[in-house]
Amino acid sequence: VEQARVSWGLPGLIVRDGDGAVRGWTFFMVRHNRVEVGGLVSDDAAATQALVAALMVEARARDGLRGFVHAGAVGIDDVLANCGVHAEAYRYLACDCARVATPSGALDEALARAAHDGATLVDVRGWRIADLEGAARLLRDAYGARGALFAPQNELSEWRDYVHNLVTQSACGVVSPQLSRVVLLNGRMQALALATTLAEGSAHIAQLAVDPALRRHGVAAALMADVARRASRAGHSQLSLLVSSENRAACELYHGLGMVETGRFLALRG
Ligand SMILES: CC(C)(COP(=O)(O)OP(=O)(O)OC[C@H]1O[C@@H](n2cnc3c(N)ncnc32)[C@H](O)[C@@H]1OP(=O)(O)O)[C@@H](O)C(=O)NCCC(=O)NCCS
């Protein structure tokens, strides 16, 4: 997006009312012959309707539409439904780091419960760029077909691209090797909390995953608490993340940690 904006120009649409005042705008890029919407802002339902209708004209000339936008445009839910665009809500959750943090032993205990086999070699450490392949495999296995927003066909190459973008670009914050936690069992990555910093005082969980074989032993909760403890020590006050409202396991987990909704985004498919 930034490259387009500063070089050849970022495609978009703008709505003005009869007095010439701007009432809404949207921008998009065409990738893989699909319209990918990066933002849609409007303070008027008719403007929202005009923008979505115009985006659908672009999408129909290609292979459809995708997008990830803040759910702030007036009337957006109804307009999307009327235009046949499927929207999955993503909740933006946040909490005070100091309130989630627990003593450091909790993660070791959870891993001991999860690993069953006492002989398993467990290693917990910060993020390294060489972890990219292991992270892609873990996310593929952890999400399966439910990770279509990140890897539409759930293929390893898509997950590699996704993790590469996550750790080399700053759209979800700047990756923090010190705050992140990688869990290796016998040399294979089986759990990950990938943390970034968004701004001074604000840490973010860009991804969290636990291998299906290790679930429901408190590993994710302990990882979150560990990241929160590190973030708090590093001077951050807030910890945030995005979660699909359809991801019941994760929503329950974050609710249990005391995270509260502070905003809403929409993943679009049409
Ligand atoms: C979500 C995820 C990380 C949870 O990992 P986990 O190690 O199994 O979670 P924990 O054992 O720490 O669970 C802590 C609490 O979360 C909730 N929870 C976890 N899994 C749940 C499930 N399948 N259904 C309902 N609640 C669940 C429960 O409240 C649980 O406490 P309890 O076991 O005492 O009832 C894991 O399911 C996963 O990797 N999912 C795929 C990737 C993903 O969705 N990541 C989140 C991105 S926002």
**Radius of gyration, CA atoms only, the chain:** 20
Q: Which long-range contacts (CB under 8 A, 24 or more apart) does 76-82 make?
A: 76/40, 76/42, 76/48, 76/52, 76/266, 78/45, 79/45, 79/48, 79/49, 79/52, 80/52, 80/266, 80/268, 80/270, 82/49
User: How many angstroms from the chain centroid is the CA of residue 189?
Assistant: 20
Give SS3 for 126: coil
Would you say the CB of residue 209 lies under 6 angstroms from ligand 1? yes
pLDDT in tens, the chain (270 residues): 888 889 999 999 999 999 999 999 999 999 889 999 999 999 999 999 999 999 999 999 999 999 999 999 999 999 999 999 999 999 999 999 998 866 667 899 999 999 876 667 889 999 999 999 999 999 999 999 999 889 989 999 999 999 999 999 988 999 999 999 999 999 999 999 999 999 999 999 999 999 999 999 999 999 999 999 999 999 999 999 999 999 999 999 999 999 999 999 999 999
* Nearest Cα residue to atom 19 of ligand 1: 249
Residue 43 and residue 74 in contact, taking contact as beta carbons nearer than 8 Å: yes
- How confident is the model at residue 120, as a pLDDT? 78
59 touches 259 (CB < 8 A): no
- Element at 24 (helix H, strand E): strand 22-31
pTM: 0.91
The rounded distance, in Å, linking the Cα atoms of 141 and 156 is 10
| Distance from Cα 174 to the centre of ligand 1, integer Å | 25
Closest ligand 1 atom to 250 CA: 1
Residues 6 or more apart whose CB falls under 8 angstroms from that of 75 comprise 45, 48, 49
- 172 with 204: CB under 8 angstroms? yes
- Could you report how far apart the first and last alpha carbons of the chain are, in Å? 21
Residue 242 structure tokens: 């995005």
pLDDT at 123: 94
For tokens 């909760």, the residue is: 221
- Predicted local confidence at residue 104, as pLDDT: 64
pLDDT value for 101:
60
Give the atom of ligand 1 at the shortest distance from the alpha carbon of 223. 12
**What pLDDT is stored for residue 103 in this prediction?**
62
